[in-house]
C-alpha cells in the first residue's frame, strides 16, 4: 500500500472511532439528563407535598389561635365597655354626691364664720395695745357674753350635718376644713374664757398668757412657713385672725374647684391673693369717703 492509502485508512479509522465515542457520550448525557429530571421531579413533588402539609398545619393552628385571640379581644372589649358604662354611671352619681357634700361643707364654713366673727371682732379691729392690760369692763362692747354650755351646744350644731360628708370631699379639703373650724372655734372659746377671767390676751396667746402652741402648730398643717409669714406680718398685728381665715377659705375654694371642675381656677399664691383682697378693700373704703 502506498503511503497515501495508509494515511487515508488511518484517517477513516480515527473518524469512525471518534464518531462511535461521540455517539455514546451523547447517549450517556441524554440518559443522565432524563434520569436527573425524573429524580428532580420526584424530589420536588415529595418536598412540595411535605411543605404544603406543614404550611396547612401552620395555617390551621394559627387560624385557631387567631379565632381564640379575636374571641378574647371581643370579650375584653365588652368587659371594658361594661366597665366604662358602670364607671360613667358611678361617676355621675358620685359627682352629685360630691357637689352636695361641697355645698353642705361650704354652708358649714359660712355658719362657722358668722358665729365666730363677733368673738374675733376685738382681734380684727383693735391693735393689741388697745386691749392688752385693759380691764374687761372697758371692753364689754366688743366682747360677746356666752356661757360655756351655750357655746358647746352651738359648736355641736355646727358639726351635725358635716361628718358624713367626709368621704366625698377628699382628705385634703377635709383637713383644711378641720383646721379652719378648730382655729375659729378656739379663738371664740378663748374670748369667752378671758372675759370670765377678766383679762384678754393677743390671739396667739392662750388663756394662761403663754404661746398658744396648739393653735399655731395647727396652722403649719395648712400653710408653708413663707405663706404663714406673709399672713402674720409683724407690722400688721391688727386683723391677723381674719387674714388667716380668709387664706384658709381661699385654699378650701381651690380644693373645691378641683373637685368640681377638675382643675384649680386660681393660680395665685396666698400672698398675691392677700394683696388683691387688701387692694379691693382699700378701693371700697376709698369709694365710701364723702365727696367734697
Provide the mean pLDDT of the chain.
Answer: 78
Q: What is the DSSP string of 205-216?
A: B-TTSSB-HHHH
- The predicted-structure confidence for 92-150, as pLDDT tens digits, reads as follows 667 888 999 999 999 999 999 999 999 999 998 888 888 888 888 888 888 998 999 99
pLDDT: which is higher, 20 or 40: 40
Residue 60 gets the label, from left (phi > 0), alpha (psi -120 to 50) or beta, of alpha
Give the per-residue pLDDT at 201. 92
Give the per-residue pLDDT at 42. 64
Give the per-residue pLDDT at 16. 60
Give the per-residue pLDDT at 87. 46
Give the per-residue pLDDT at 72. 72
Beta carbons of 211 and 136 less than 8 angstroms apart: no
Please state the pTM of the whole predicted model. Answer: 0.62
* Of 24-38, 191-205, 234-248, 256-270, highest mean pLDDT: 191-205
Between CA 202 and CA 32 the distance in angstroms is 121
Boundaries of every domain in the chain = 95-288
pLDDT at residue 221 is higher than 60: yes
pLDDT at residue 242 is higher than 70: yes
List beta partners, residue 205.
211
Amino acid at each position: 500500500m502506498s503511503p497515501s492509502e495508509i494515511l487515508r485508512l488511518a484517517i477513516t479509522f480515527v473518524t469512525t472511532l471518534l464518531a462511535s465515542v461521540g455517539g455514546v457520550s451523547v447517549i450517556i448525557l441524554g440518559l443522565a439528563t432524563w434520569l436527573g429530571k425524573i429524580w428532580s421531579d420526584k424530589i420536588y413533588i415529595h418536598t412540595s407535598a411535605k411543605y404544603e402539609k406543614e404550611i396547612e398545619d401552620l395555617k390551621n393552628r394559627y387560624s385557631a389561635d387567631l379565632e381564640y385571640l379575636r374571641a378574647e379581644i371581643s370579650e375584653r372589649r365588652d368587659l371594658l365597655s361594661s366597665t366604662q358604662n358602670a364607671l360613667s354611671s358611678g361617676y355621675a352619681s358620685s359627682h352629685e354626691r360630691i357637689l352636695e357634700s361641697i355645698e353642705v361643707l361650704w354652708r358649714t364654713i359660712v355658719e362657722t364664720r358668722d358665729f365666730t366673727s363677733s368673738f374675733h371682732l376685738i382681734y380684727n379691729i383693735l391693735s393689741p395695745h388697745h386691749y392688752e392690760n385693759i380691764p374687761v369692763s372697758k371692753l364689754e362692747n366688743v366682747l360677746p357674753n356666752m356661757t360655756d354650755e351655750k357655746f358647746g351646744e352651738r359648736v355641736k350644731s355646727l358639726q351635725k350635718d358635716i361628718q358624713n360628708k367626709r368621704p366625698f370631699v377628699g382628705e385634703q379639703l377635709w383637713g383644711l376644713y378641720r383646721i379652719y373650724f378648730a382655729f375659729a372655734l378656739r379663738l371664740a372659746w378663748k374670748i369667752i374664757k378671758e372675759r370670765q377671767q377678766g383679762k384678754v390676751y393677743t390671739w396667739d396667746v392662750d388663756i394662761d398668757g403663754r404661746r398658744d402652741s396648739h393653735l399655731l402648730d395647727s396652722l403649719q398643717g395648712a400653710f408653708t412657713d413663707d405663706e404663714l409669714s406673709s399672713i402674720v406680718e409683724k407690722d400688721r398685728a391688727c386683723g391677723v385672725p381674719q387674714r388667716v381665715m380668709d387664706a384658709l377659705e381661699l385654699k378650701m375654694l381651690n380644693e373645691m374647684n378641683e373637685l368640681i371642675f377638675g382643675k384649680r381656677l386660681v393660680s395665685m399664691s396666698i400672698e398675691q391673693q392677700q394683696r388683691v383682697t387688701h387692694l379691693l378693700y382699700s378701693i371700697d373704703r376709698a369709694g365710701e369717703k364723702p365727696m367734697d
